[in-house]
Structure 1
Amino acid sequence: MELSLPLPDLPAPNPSLRLRARGSATAPAGRFEPYARVWDHDGWDIAEDEKLLRTEVSIERPRSVITRNQSPDVPFERSLNPYRGCEHGCAYCFARPSHGYLGLSAGLDFETRIVARPDAAEVLERELRRKAYTVAPLAIGTNTDPYQPLEARMGIMRRVLQVLSDFNHPLMLTTRGATVLRDLDLLSDMAGRGLLQVGISLTTLDATLARKMEPRAPAPQTRIRMIRDLARAGIPVRVMAAPMIPGLTDHELEAILTEARRAGARAAAIIPLRMPNEVAALFADWLRRELPGRADKVLKAVAAMRGGQLNDPRFGSRMQGEGVEADLLHRRFEVSCRRLGLDRRMPELDCRRFSPPPAAGDQLSLF
């Protein structure tokens, strides 16, 4: 199948930068920016010292941290992101275009210029104490990973968890970061009160491919261990076989589900690869750099599930895909889930327990 939308040319990589474990090789201008920077040879054959590109962290102090969502494609109406950008650097990440709202690139900027919200827990507590607040499950990890490498030293997610636990607030958590195991004590306690569901994203079992495609994310076997440790702690775990990349990882679907079930996963979910806005060109560039012999096959397989395009943003289709290939993928998923017992619903989250704890200086009740 021919692609109906040509991919834009990406700027050449900065020759003075040395990249280590990055999913992108370039930093195209954000889609809202009026100007772009292009690197070109100046004609002088003078060697320049390469500079290792390191992660930069900036601080944001938001007035609100709860984001309201109205999409019919997602099972939550509100979410929270402790970080903007993600150092995991997954080449296919659908969240990359969100950096455009900061005037930054969806390419290297997304994975090297991270915005942290160290006051997220305090702001969240203020929002939960408002008299007008009505409880509903809060989703974390729906855009960027709350347990990306930076969390190990900043501890923002740990403090957010403590607030949610103190308020008996239900949480839907999605991650692929191994630092989640640091918080087993809080997570296990919340799960015991019916306040928690956890989804672990597992895209491939091929460690070599994962190292290239998800350069700073935990290895596949580490994620299997995460599922096992969370499940042993009594936490309901869903394996997220997402994204499934046709022509690259979709042949692993049954193996991924089997390994996750053996580790203790209770349920499963699947999303075929989607590449909104800048992601299509960035992922195509990654394919041609890392897997040149398979790039065209993968892109055509993606297009076969998206009506000849690399992305379909329509509600109802963007998370599912369409056509024979998409239908077959979902059918394989359904059959495997039934066979493995992963077709069960996750336990319902308990919203009835929600109760703001006494604030400092409050008069305590005698009853």
Structure 2
Amino acid sequence: MLTVQLPTHEYQIIIEKGSLSAIGAWTASLWKPQKIAIITDETVDALYGSTVLTQLKEQGFEVTKFAVPAGETSKSLANTERIYEHLAENQFTRSDGILALGGGVIGDLAGFAAATYMRGIHFLQVPTTLLAQVDSSIGGKTGVNTKNAKNLVGAFWQPDGVLIDPDTLNTLEPRRVREGIAEIVKSAAIADRHLWELLSGLKDEQELLEQAVTIITACLEIKRKVVEEDELDNGIRLILNFGHTIGHAIENTAGYGVVSHGEAVAIGMVQINRVAEEKGLTPKQTTQQLIELLKKFGLPISYEQWNEETLYQALTHDKKTRGTAIKIILLDEIGKAKIVPTDIEEMKDYLKRS
């Protein structure tokens, strides 16, 4: 168990196999009897929706459920409005709450709805994918995509608790497992040499899943530290964006869902690190080490439909851009990252293929 301690809010993260079977009691330990809307997607709903709903009802909660189609395209303002309508029709007030049951898309969408409905209602995160368990379920970032950029509209809204059951990973298709591994590799690259060495010693995804609790805990320990130091993402928390600036541009230009978030981050890490090596800003061989680790876990390192101009236009809409500058994340070495303010024009260099 980890505890996130912020100036105005504190919450615990449970990381335990089989913990989903006690979700009713866990929720009752955090919330008084109230209305709860389970926000989920259709795939996760079929697997866990009825179990979670029944458990919550058994604890005396008044429960509704709202499911959207699975996939990145569901992270939209249109679906946010549908959630608002669902909450209003069921007479939710500021004393009620939302429980996000699913992956990163659901966590972001449900969290944004919780942050903005009646200017904020209670919120719990129950991530069921590796990507959400190692990264997006903690830290309070919520948001939806627009046609211009990923996560362009959003809010910071911390959950009251996070429940992680690694057993849910057993139902993920291999591509979704690999997507989460990209964020694990990112975490190791920016802040944990020991985790990098652990990953380097693993044979494949199956061996990684066998050590899920250890690896998830290591990733969340990194994120907990930077979130506590920089809740609103203005300083050190930016290191979590390694690979994301280019990755988000790839996701947007490919069409959301064509290239997954994790795949785009993998490609983005390799691309930005390769150019940084050429510029002498990152030690030689770090790109090769990244490539070897990503390829071992079946992740892509390049993108066939690469178009520098299209990607540059998408990149200028990235929320990390400030005026004519953007802060990019580079590696001082494996296990240590740095923030490098960069003129937006220079980003054209980082989009050039070798």
The answer to whether TM tops 0.5 is no
The structure with higher relative contact order (CA 8 Å, sep 6+) is 1
TM-score (norm 2): 0.29
Please give the TM-score of this superposition, normalised by the length of structure 1. Answer: 0.28
Report the structure number with the largest CA radius of gyration: 1
Q: Which has a greater percent of helix? A: 2
